[in-house]
Structure 1
Amino acid sequence: MSNQSVSRPTRVAQEIRRTIAELLVHESKDPRFKKMSITDCKISKDLSIAKIHFALMGHKKDDPEVQETLAALQKAQGFFRSEIGNRLRLRIVPQIRFYYDEVPENAQYIEDLINKALKS
């Protein structure tokens, strides 16, 4: 698929996702960030808001560690936004918003149910 066939918001979202993941691995000092994965990034059509979805493997949405990680991510929004601005050279640097992604959690639950049914 050529870059021409992918919309600009989609390309920017992909680059933001890659950049955030890179920052979490290489720049972050917070140990909670090392255990998370960025599952998705959606950006508004006007590129003003980036919604970044993350998962903490082995955790559920209401686990205290998930809430602490979300709070730490929100506290670091300014850092992520300035790094995105510096690295991607965007005219408009989007507001960064983090959301916990329940899809991996739900997928594991469904997989467990399937395995349980197969054993019966």
Structure 2
Amino acid sequence: MAREFSRTDRVGQQIHKEIASILQNEFKNRDPRLGMVTVSAVEVSRDLSYSKIYVTFFENDEEVMKNYLAILEENKGYIRTLLANRMRMRAVPAIKFVRDGSLSEGIRISNLVDETLSKDKERARNAGRSLDEDEQED
């Protein structure tokens, strides 16, 4: 019977869990400059030698986010050491931090949709009808 998840998926899930815990608990004490960071995904290579860790920052300023990513990249050796202490593997994958822009992109798209809806309602009011009446006719 085939396994539901491959080994790389299971290792990726474990790395995701451990890195999230490390960043929230242990790393905050070492470098307090790092703001609120969330691990959104982890990709592990098939040979388990490399991993990309996608992180999301709760900041809107592009310069601050670049600074946070630089802090993580500077300390990836220390973070990998902490990860090695928590995981039972012969060799822990090399890590690379990548900014995940999907959350900020989703918020941007949501704001554009809200803005468009409010403009449509305003145009409908100016034309003397409401959008709700148009929807009921359909």
Note whether the superposition's TM-score is higher than 0.5. yes
Structural RMSD (CA): 1.4
Q: Which moved further from structure 2: 96-105 or 50-59? A: 50-59
Deviations 1:39-69 (CA, angstroms, capped at 9, x unpaired): 1100000000010011112325xx1111111
- How do 1:96-107 and structure 2 match up within 5 A? 96-107=95-106
Q: Distance in 2 between matches of 1:41 and 1:11?
A: 11
Name the TM-score, length of structure 2 as normaliser: 0.77
Structure 1 vs Structure 2: percent identity of aligned residues? 31
RCO (CA 8 Å, sep 6+): is it higher in 1 or 2? 1
Larger Rg, first or second structure (1 or 2) = 2
Q: Look up the match of 2:38.
A: 37
Q: Which moved further from structure 2: 70-79 or 25-34? A: 25-34
Q: Distance in 1 between matches of 2:90 and 2:101?
A: 32
Give the number of equivalent residue pairs. Answer: 115
Kindly indicate whether the alpha-carbon contact (under 8 Å) linking 2:37 and 2:58 is maintained by their aligned counterparts in 1. yes
Name the TM-score, length of structure 1 as normaliser: 0.88
Q: After TM superposition, which residue ranges in structure 1, 4 or more long, deviate above 6 angstroms?
A: none
Q: Distance in 1 between matches of 2:77 and 2:13?
A: 19
Q: Look up the match of 1:116.
A: 115
Q: Look up the match of 1:72.
A: 71
- How do 1:23-62 and structure 2 match up within 5 A? 23-28=22-27, 29=29, 30-59=31-60
Name the SS for the 1:90 alignment partner.
coil
Which 5+ residue runs of structure 1 have no aligned equivalent?
A: none
Q: CA deviation at 1:11?
A: 0.6
Q: Name the CA shift for 1:111/1:32 in 2 (closer, same or farther; >3 Å).
A: farther
Q: Look up the match of 2:17.
A: 18
Q: Distance in 2 between matches of 1:69 and 1:47?
A: 26
Deviations 1:70-110 (CA, angstroms, capped at 9, x unpaired): 11101111111112211111112100100111111110110
Q: Which moved further from structure 2: 102-111 or 78-87? A: 78-87
Which 5+ residue runs of structure 2 have no aligned equivalent?
A: 120-138
Q: Distance in 2 between matches of 1:8 and 1:83?
A: 21
